A and B are shown apart, each in its own frame.
Chain A
Amino acid sequence: MEQFLTFVRKEFYHIFRDRWTMIILLVLPIMMLILFGFMMSTEVKNTRFAIYDPSRDAATQGIVNKISMSDYFIFSGYLDSPEQVEEVFRSGKIGLVIVFGERFYENMMHTGDAQVQLIADGSDPNTASTLTMYATRLITLYQQDVMGEMKIPYQIKPEVKLLYNPTLKGSYNFVPGVMGMILMLICAMMTSVSIAREKELGTMEVLLVSPMKPIQIIISKVVPYFFVSVVNLATILLLSVFVLDMPINGSLGLLILISLIFIFVSLALGLLISSAVDKQMVALLISAMVMMMPVMMLSGMMFPLENMPLPLQWLSQIIPAKWFMIAVKKIMIEGLGFSSVVKEFTVLSSMAVILIAASVKRFKYRLE
């Protein structure tokens, strides 16, 4: 036991005495979360919009007011002719142009066929569709206001309600993703690099020619990084709740439990990598390429899995981060209990068991 504790302490010395290790372990997660938090959000706020309005009547004025009043848009000015539309888009300051038809109010009241055109910059399709969606909604709202006064008898009013995320906050999707990514990065990369370093510096040779059992070496390598990961988990959760306004609707205990299982999976993955490589650089590259990319691409964090070709969807089944993300979303946002995440728990737990078994089995107690 004393042997084990000394070894764990030694591992902590390695972490605390290397400035770059410290930065990667403790500052990087915070930076990543904050950066992704404000970068990857799909929310569009304070977009400038311009109007081409040949009618200039009460209705168009009402719509423009309605749109300007919202958080999403800032009124920038009227255009004199339709030819100016392209010009303003080229200047890059305008995100949306609204073009009204002639005699808008009259048409609306009498023929019921008033025309309005929304023009957005399609080179960024996500933003463009979000903007047009917001604007359409605001126009519909205005229409309902007006029609409500008129009391037109027949009307279908679709009321859209976005469950769990009524205001369409981007952070709801990416926080679980970033959590998965950071924990994966820290656990897998740092453990694999730290074992590769012992091999590279030749200390592994000395450790092998000692009474220490392979399993002891492995566990004493894992323990410090497990602690660091728990610290990171706490920071991430605190930041998500207090800086990015994420709710924790479900049980905090359950959330921590699934995170701990996921940390184990990542640590085991790191051990598996380290059993295959001898150089720190290679360990770093493999962790970055083989794990970061699939975690980002195939976990549903950036792109919806449902739209992917089938083979990629199959591949995504073996990405631990995918299961972790699903479980975290269910617990954190939907507030579901244990019975709804049994599947994710089972998958992650069996992954942990298989990976740890594989890395212990693969650990070489000789040099070749």
Chain B
Amino acid sequence: MQSFQNPTENEFAVSCQSVSKHYIKNSPFEKLNVKALENISFDVSRGELFGIIGPDGAGKTTLFRILTTLILADEGTVSIEGNDVVKDFKSIRNEVGYMPGRFSLYQDLTVEENLNVFAKVFKTSIEENYHLIEDIYKQIEPFKKRRAGKLSGGMKQKLALCCALIHKPKVLFLDEPTTGVDPVSRKEFWDMLKRLKAQNITILVSTPYMDEASLCDRIALIQNGSFLKIDTPKNIVNQFPHELWSVSSDAMSKLLNDLRKIPNIRSCFSFGESHHVTLKNKDWSVDELKVVLEKYEHTSVEIKVIEASIEDCFMDLT
């Protein structure tokens, strides 16, 4: 019965159990023990597109580095495709594709040369797995003689994705692939991820952009090194426990301050063109708030009941 002892082990592409990581930061005056990750547990099924959503400094990169065997966790176990990140790191390194957060290709090599180097590093050739990258590579192929350092942000990321994909990895780790990329390229990038998912490649992607969360199968919200919630984007939104109003007026920054002074307002955050407000006392109506705001001398006050977004959920959870 030995082989059935751990029946779940091979069901998941990525399995992460109570991982913690601390950094010792040597400042000139004292040793600071900085907590990077605290008790992180999650599983990713084969072929799933799993998003890790959180602001800068939440611990996304540290988590990715642990998952890709680059650093060791202080506590907890991680296995990728059934291989342990500590013992079997060599076989993991054969099977995964990793795209680090910052652009990490050779800037002085051309697009084609970069792709070739990474193909050869993984003991394959561009021709062998061209079908995998074809959709993406076609877009940058006109520039294949251009040095990678001279590409635009979006093209750089597409090239980096090609390089991470060229050896047909089983699991793909993308650390903030769309940071610093224009909105059109971001959308294209996510379309590509969907197509890759159709090829049954497990994808883990991290992003600080909450609007990208809904494009994942499941997401984990991360803040200060801890997961706040793991679920499908839809469930997370549906579980938002409050009624959400969007409020706007002619003087937006004064409005934010005034809203926060009103005792019945539970929370209020600025969301671009409007402020999102939740209430302590659910009996209040939209008109009642409008009256209060007009007392604060606000003109053309508009209040709408809206559905929560992932970002609202994130703000609510922190």
Contacts and interface: CB of A to CB of B under 8 A. Distances in A.
Interface string B68-112: 111110000000000000000110011010111011111111000
Given A10-B106, A202-B100, A366 B121 contact: no
Interface stretch (A1-9, A99-107, A233-241): A1-9
B113 A209 contact: no
B102 to A, nearest CB: 5
B69 A209 contact: yes
A3 B65 contact: no
The winner among A13, A18, A205 for most chain B CB atoms within 10 A is A205
Contact of B120 (A3, A203, A206, A368): A3
B123 A203 contact: no
A205 B109 contact: no
Contact of A209 (B96, B102, B116, B120): B96
A2 B122 CA distance: 11
A300 B117 CA distance: 45
A14 B104 contact: no
A367 B118 contact: no
Given A13-B109, A211-B94, A211-B123, A205 B70 contact: yes
A10 B117 contact: yes
Interface in A177-219: 201-203, 205-212
B120 A210 contact: no
Interface string A150-176: 000000000000000000000000000
A65 to B, nearest CB: 66
A179 B72 CA distance: 44
B168 to A, nearest CB: 13
B116 A203 contact: no
B123 A14 contact: no
A13 B121 CA distance: 16
Interface string A1-37: 0110011001001100110000000000000000000
Nearest to B90: A211
A209 B68 contact: yes
Contact of B100 (A3, A10, A205, A211): A205
B124 to A, nearest CB: 10
A64 to B, nearest CB: 65
Contacts of A202: 100, 102-104
Interface string B36-55: 00000000000000000000
Interface string B152-182: 0000000000011000000000000000000
Contacts of A207: 121
Nearest to A368: B71
B116 A6 contact: yes
Given A7-B117, A7-B121, A10-B109, A367 B71 contact: yes
Contact of B113 (A13, A205, A367): A13
Contacts of A365: 89
A219 to B, nearest CB: 14
Nearest to B103: A202
Contact of B106 (A3, A203, A205, A211): A203
A10 B68 CA distance: 25
Nearest to B173: A209
A209 B104 contact: no
A367 B108 contact: no
A205 B99 CA distance: 9
B122 to A, nearest CB: 6
Nearest to B91: A211
Contacts of B105: 203, 206
A176 B123 CA distance: 44
A10 to B, nearest CB: 5
Which of A6, A201, A203, A209 has the most B CB atoms < 10 Å from its CB? Answer: A209
Nearest to B72: A366
Contact of A201 (B69, B89, B107, B116): B107
Nearest to B94: A211
A311 to B, nearest CB: 32
A368 B105 CA distance: 21
- The interface centre, meaning the residue of B117, B121, B123, B163 with most chain A CB atoms within 10 A of its CB, is B121
B104 A366 contact: no
A6 B72 CA distance: 30
A205 B120 contact: no
A10 B113 contact: yes
Contact of A13 (B90, B108, B123, B164): B108
Given A6-B116, A7-B120, A201-B104, A367 B109 contact: no
A84 to B, nearest CB: 63
A208 B69 CA distance: 9
B241 to A, nearest CB: 40
Contacts of A10: 106, 109, 113, 117
A206 B69 contact: no
Contact of A206 (B72, B98, B107, B113): B98
Contact of B93 (A3, A7, A211): A211
25 contacts: A3-B121, A6-B117, A6-B121, A7-B117, A7-B120, A7-B121, A10-B109, A10-B113, A13-B109, A14-B106, A14-B108, A201-B104, A201-B106, A201-B107, A205-B104, A206-B104, A206-B164, A208-B69, A209-B98, A210-B121, A211-B122, A366-B69, A366-B72, A367-B65, A367-B70
Interface of A: 2-3, 6-7, 10, 13-14, 17-18, 201-203, 205-212, 365-368
Ranked nearest first, the 9 interchain pairs of A and B with the lowest CB-CB distance are: A202-B104, A6-B120, A209-B98, A367-B70, A17-B108, A211-B94, A209-B68, A205-B100, A210-B121
Given A7-B117, A13-B108, A209-B96, 16 more contacts: A2-B120, A6-B117, A6-B121, A10-B117, A18-B108, A201-B106, A202-B100, A202-B103, A203-B104, A203-B106, A205-B98, A206-B105, A208-B93, A210-B93, A211-B93, A367-B71
